[in-house]
Structure 1
Amino acid sequence: MALKATIYKATVNVADMDRNVFIDSSLTLARHPSETEERLMLRLLAWLMNAHERLVFTRGLSAEDEPEIWLMNDHNGIELWVELGLPEERRVKRACNRSASVVLYTYNGRAAQIWWQQNQSKLAQQENLSIRFIDDQQLKALTQLASRSMTLQATLQDGTIWLSDQQNHLELRFTDWLVNGKLI
């Protein structure tokens, strides 16, 4: 018998001061049996970072030709492709060719650093690609907020994310490795 996904529900309030975006949303996240809770929470954080009323979670790990999250335009074109982890360069290039903008959220400290050293020069050629890294300590703190039913408030300003639930308050910051094809 195949294992089933675990369903997480998140009620989120996002105040993105940099983009002037303010959204209240109820999200449903399906955690694939092979997915870690850290990765699930990074998916949620990626959604918060790019919050938009049409931003949706895709089939993710279950679909090779889809990102984790995407934003489609009115003509079924992909405006934003959000990827997680350490994908092969070929997959990133394909995403950049299919979407107006691609954001890759990397994690897993040492492995991510090695991956970046190996792929940096090739990926920097993609003008619509941004790569953001979150360190292990911050990801572990983020994972402490995980629960099957979450209510989260997120405020984003000047590259800092303040995230809180009823009991915890976090301040998170990604390290930008690449912004729109420019090395940082």
Structure 2
Amino acid sequence: MALKATIYKANLSIADLDRQVYFDTSLTLARHPSETETRLMLRLAAWLCHADERLQFTRGLCADDEPEIWRLNDHQGIECWIELGLPDEKRLKKASHRSAAVWLYAYSARAATVWWQQHRDKLAQLSNLTVRYLDDEQLEKLTALAARNMNLQATVQDGVLWLSAEDQHVELHFTEWQQVNQPA
């Protein structure tokens, strides 16, 4: 018998001061049996950094030809492609050809640092790729907010993501390993 996804629900109030985006929404996140709660929360944080009414979670871990999150235009072209983890450089190159903007959210200090040192030069050739890294300490604080039913207030300002849930507050500072001037 196959294991089923665990469903998380998030009621969100978003204020992105950098992009002048403000709205409330509810999201349903399916945590794949092989996905950790930490990765699920990073996926939610990445969505919040790019919050848009057209931004969608994809089949993610179950699909080789889709990112974790994307925003499609009216003609089903990919405007924004968002990956998590430490993907193969070929995957990122393919994504950069298919999408106007590609974002990678790397995590896991030991593995990510080695991965970045090995791939930095080749990834620098991708002019539409931004690589952000979130350290283990901040990721642990983010994971502490995880609950099957979440009510979160999210504020983005100067690239910093603030999250509040009842009496818990988390401030996430992403390290920009590679940055390009592109829309979120």
Same fold (TM over 0.5): yes
Tell me which stretches of 4 or more aligned residues in structure 1 moved more than 6 Å.
none
C-alpha distance in 1, partners of 2:115/2:13? 34
Structure 1: unaligned runs, 5 residues or longer: none
How far the C-alpha of 1:174 sits from its partner, in A, is 0.2
RMSD: 0.8
Give the residue type in structure 2 aligned to 1:99: S
Sequence identity (%):
64
How far the C-alpha of 1:83 sits from its partner, in A, is 0.2
How far the C-alpha of 1:180 sits from its partner, in A, is 1.9
Cα shift readout 1:85-110 (whole Å, capped 9, x = no counterpart): 00000000011010000000000001
Tell me if 1:31 matches 2:42: no
TM-score (norm 2): 0.97
Partner of 1:152: 152
C-alpha distance in 2, partners of 1:127/1:96? 8
C-alpha distance in 1, partners of 2:69/2:172? 20
C-alpha distance in 2, partners of 1:27/1:85? 22
Indicate if the aligned counterparts of 1:126 and 1:180 stay in contact, CA closer than 8 A: no
C-alpha distance in 2, partners of 1:23/1:133? 26
Map 1:29-178 → 2, pairs under 5 A: 29-178=29-178
How far the C-alpha of 1:160 sits from its partner, in A, is 1.4
How many residue pairs end up in the alignment?
181
C-alpha distance in 1, partners of 2:100/2:158? 23
How far the C-alpha of 1:71 sits from its partner, in A, is 0.1
TM-score (norm 1): 0.97
C-alpha distance in 1, partners of 2:79/2:164? 29
